[in-house]
Chains A and B, each alone.
Chain A
């Protein structure tokens, strides 16, 4: 855009950008391609991107005493059904949804009234509370995982949904972001609502919430991306019960159990876990990038 660009220069720039793009895409290519191919094709690196889709025999199915004919499947179907059957992947995905959605809803329920009070209400100690919010912005939650874990363990809450959700219910960044947004909402709007006899509580949910949708959406994207992909925290608090595993933990489990002959199904699992957010991103790129960058300073 800036400066005088000759076609020659332009070509060099594209060459550099394409090379970068190839390196960035490589693991995605490998992941999807392996999830489509048979074990043999993966090992010998044949079959191109899609594999030949020549039928393979499910050895486990044969071991169960079924005739070989009945156990034949095309690799892509084999890989994806294995991914779902061998580990309770659907359960993991459901856990992922439960955990991410609960975290986001609780964050909003707690942050929104606080942000409203900090921006639109006058009361003694308000500045002190805001300073506390600013101070808490300095604390990276991942880094204090150990003491939070100790506290949860002392009250026997590890290996529960609660332990996956509670530490994330407070988002000081959410409070900060919402407060900044509410500061721009004219006081007249709130005064008008008060004249109409609305309580402070319903002003939050019926006046402020609807005006804050863009900021909330940005925050939702950030929160959901962070917690769907999080591996550190579930790894720490969920040690026993597989039925509480989140998607990344489930993938880890799959890998741990792999004896070197499960690459196809494992890559299918990885694809299933990565796809929802990537597809959402491709559909609404602009919003996602804005959302992540706006809130990325957590």
Chain B
């Protein structure tokens, strides 16, 4: 009986093991190997080029721009989507009514196909017929200009404000102007991601023991900020570590918006890593280079994941 059962163990795990090796482990090895070659599909052979591909990534401006674009995207999307996710979670948790409605609405972008929504955003941000620039133009000379140009915006006097200047000249080509494109693409990324972070934080908040708030109150933490600083934020430590890791890994993988809207442009300002792998590896058939980018990408992911494990195990034990 026992022997029979132990055989079953091998039978039951065999398909999974074979697929893990073929689909997850072998490709990493293949990419590592090919990253040292100039392999391309259809060619019978390939040359061993050593670290050439990696050296290119450091030296050539295209790949420097790629690393900068990916880094910029991650640096914008991660803090803002986490900050907004946390903010939304705290607000929803503290309002007396309608919390569930907000939660539903904020989670909608997580469910909708990003490609479809990217295209809709592109239309909404279209310079001439898009609803956003149209609204901005209609607002010129009206209350919107008054609000956004008023002297309360620090360091900006009325006439010189971004809004007023744009009214006199023109509003940006969101996806055509190097100055704005990365910000606009990142905005779509934040729009799509923050509802997911919000839900993770809401789950984290339910695990904060209420007695801690009472204890903090007795110790003199009476205002909301103190309660947040002394109780909520530390208790959310493990959630935050997880949210940061997963959001960073996902941000490094951004592809849909870039491929559908900007194609990496203008002047490579949105040439992010996943798009670079697609463009170089698959479209231009530079598999060696594509593999090198893949390996660099995996190294980033490994660093992040081990960093997360380390933090979770070492630092964030409160309960």
Interface on A for B, CB 8 Å cutoff?
1-3, 5, 10, 13-14, 16-17, 20-21, 23-28, 30-31, 34, 42-43, 45, 110-111, 113-114, 116-118, 121-124, 126, 129, 132-133, 136, 138-151, 153-154, 166-167, 169-170, 172, 175, 194, 200-201, 204, 225, 228-229, 231-232, 235-236, 247-248, 251-252, 255, 263, 266-267, 270, 273-274, 277-278, 281-282, 285, 288-289, 292-293, 296-297
Contact = CB atoms under 8 A, between A and B. Distances in A.
Contacts of A175: 16
B12 A133 contact: no
A146 B108 contact: no
A110 B119 contact: no
Chain B at the A interface: SS class: helix
A2 B113 contact: no
Given A30-B131, A231-B113, A232-B255, A121 B5 contact: yes
A129 B13 contact: yes
A293 B203 contact: yes
Interface stretch (B63-71, B73-81, B289-297): B289-297
B36 interface: no
B46 to A, nearest CB: 12
Contact of B134 (A16, A45, A147, A231): A45
A40 to B, nearest CB: 11
B57 to A, nearest CB: 15
Given A121-B8, A270-B120, A231 B106 contact: no
B215 interface: no
A116 B12 contact: yes
Nearest to B224: A3
B115 A251 contact: yes
Interface string B24-52: 11111011001000000100000000000
A204 B301 contact: no
B207 to A, nearest CB: 13
Of B98, B108, B274, B297, most A-chain CB atoms within 10 Å: B108
B94 A5 contact: yes
B9 interface: yes
5 contacts: A2-B213, A24-B191, A129-B17, A144-B28, A270-B119
Nearest to A263: B123
B62 interface: no
Q: What are the 5 tightest A-B residue pairs by CB atom distance, in nearest-first order?
A: A123-B9, A113-B12, A147-B27, A170-B19, A114-B16
Given A110-B19, A121-B8, A140-B301, A281 B107 contact: yes
Given A27-B124, A232-B256, A144 B294 contact: yes
Interface stretch (B85-93, B163-171, B178-186): B85-93
A170 B104 contact: no
B54 interface: no
B255 to A, nearest CB: 5
A291 B127 CA distance: 39
Contacts of A117: 8-9, 12-13
A83 to B, nearest CB: 12
B112 A42 contact: no
Given A13-B94, A235-B259, A143 B253 contact: yes
B106 A21 contact: yes
B116 interface: yes
Given A43-B129, A147-B31, A170-B23, A114 B98 contact: no
A172 B5 contact: no
B174 interface: no
Contact of B121 (A27, A121, A140, A200): A27
B24 A144 contact: yes
Nearest to A267: B120
Contact of A121 (B9, B113, B297): B9
B13 A113 contact: yes
Contacts of A201: 8
B264 interface: no
Among A110, A140, A143, A167, which residue has the most Cβ atoms of chain B within 10 A? A143
Most chain B CB inside 10 Å of its own CB: which residue of A1, A13, A147, A267: A147
Given A45-B129, A126-B9, A229 B91 contact: no
A142 B249 CA distance: 11
B15 interface: yes
B319 interface: no
B111 A278 contact: yes
B24 A118 contact: no
B27 A24 contact: no
A274 B109 contact: no
A121 B28 contact: no
B96 A10 contact: yes
Contacts of B189: none
B8 A252 contact: no
A113 B34 CA distance: 34
Given A45-B134, A289-B107, A274 B16 contact: no
Given A24-B105, A121-B8, A169 B91 contact: no
A95 to B, nearest CB: 14
Given A21-B105, A138-B302, A145-B277, A133 B28 contact: no
A141 B287 CA distance: 17
A271 to B, nearest CB: 8
Contacts of A281: 107-108, 111
A295 B24 CA distance: 19
Contact of B88 (A10, A20, A141, A267): A20
